[in-house]
Amino acid sequence: MDFISMAKLENTQITARCQAKFAERLQVGGEPHGLLTLTARAEDILEVLEFLKTDPELSFGFLTDITAVHYPELDKPFCVVYHLHSWANRSRIRIKAFIDGKHPVIASATALWDGANWMERETYDFYGIRFAGHPDLRRILNVDDMEAFPMRKEFPLEDPNRVDKKDYFFGR
């Protein structure tokens, strides 16, 4: 049971170290439920991720997840969310980067982690966010010739062409 008593890096230390390096380019978004959330600019994201991964004190070496969220009412409606995990320091961190809606582009993290490959393909498939530098950016879960990006808020859930499910009977 020793792993429980291992020293845990505090969020304040992480914030201090990040702000020493990046100053205003990295904003602290808060600590919802103890998970430090930082917001970076889309141009800086690769630098931020590389710093978090390679810095010997922080060493967020494990990429847990990459995903995105769509906020249609914001100027920059797409928010790419990275979850990293530092096993040595037993802490997790969340990085967000807001990007533009008309041409959503952000650098690909495949340069740092091989595992980012499919995670970014899934995010592209759902939201249409292009990851610059990705070796093989194409759809992964939906049919290859689909044109729309289904997880965007304006895309409907049900297939409008289905013949046997009359909305009238389902209370819609």
Partner 1 sequence: MSDSISKMPNNSPVFVDNDPQDELITLNIGPTHPATHGVFQNVVQMDGERIVSGVSTIGYIHRAFEKIAEHRAYYQITTLTDRLNYCSSPINNMGYHMTVEKLLGIEIPKRVQYMRVVVMELARIADHIICNGILGVDTGTFAGFIPMMIKREFIYEIFEEICGARLTTNIGRIGGFERDFNEIAFAKTQQFLEEFPAILEEFQTLLDRNRIFIERTSGVAAVTPEAALSYSWTGPNLRSTGVDYDVRAVDPYSSYEEFDFEVAVGTRGDVYDRYMVRNNEMWESLKIIRQAMDKIAKEPKGIFHADVPDFYLPPKEQTYNNMEALIYHFKIVMGELDAPKDELYHAVEGANGELGFYLISDGGRSPYRLHFRRPSFVNYQMFAPMCAGMLLSDAIINLSSLNVIAGELDA
Partner 2 sequence: MSEITLAKAPPGLEGAGFFATKIDQVIGLARANSLWPLPFATSCCGIEFMATMAATYDAGRFGMERNSFSPRQADMMMVMGTIAKKMAPVVRQVYSQMAEPRWVIAVGACASSGGIFDTYSVLQGIDEIIPVDVYVPGCPPRPEAILDGVMRLQDIVRNESLNRRQTPEYRALLEKYGFHFNG
Name the one range near partner 1 by CB under 8 A: 20-28, 39-47, 144-152, 161-169.
Answer: 144-152
Buried b / exposed e across 104-119, counting CB within 10 Å, b at 16+? bebbbbbebbeebbeb
User: Which residue has 């807001």 as its token pair?
Assistant: 98
In one letter, which amino acid is 35?
A: L
d(Cα 46, Cα 140) in Å, to the nearest integer? 23
Name the one range near partner 2 by CB under 8 A: 17-25, 47-55, 63-71, 156-164.
Answer: 156-164
Q: Smallest distance, Å, CB 118 to partner 1?
A: 4
CB 52 within 8 Å of CB 84: yes
Number of residues that bind partner 2 (CB under 8 A): 11
Q: Smallest distance, Å, CB 155 to partner 2?
A: 8
**Interaction residues for partner 2, span 127-146 (CB under 8 A):** 142-143
Which positions from 18 to 37 touch partner 1 by CB under 8 A, shown as an x/- string?
Answer: --------------xx-x-x
**Residue 159 interacting partner from partner 1, partner 2, none (CB closer than 5 to 8 Å by kind):** partner 2
Name the one range near partner 1 by CB under 8 A: 19-27, 38-46, 85-93, 97-105.
Answer: 85-93
Helix-then-strand count for the chain, H and E: 3, 7
Q: Smallest distance, Å, CB 153 to partner 1?
A: 8
**Choice between 76 and 165, CB closer to partner 2:** 165
In sign, the C-alpha dihedral spanning 149, 151, 153, 155 is: positive
Which whole-number Å values give the CA distances from 151 to 4, 74, 80, 121, 170, in the listed order? 38, 16, 13, 13, 23
**Interaction residues for partner 1, span 99-118 (CB under 8 A):** 113-118
Q: Is 172 in the site for partner 1 (CB under 8 A)?
A: no
Residue 1's H or E segment, with its range, is none
Q: Is 150 in the site for partner 2 (CB under 8 A)?
A: yes
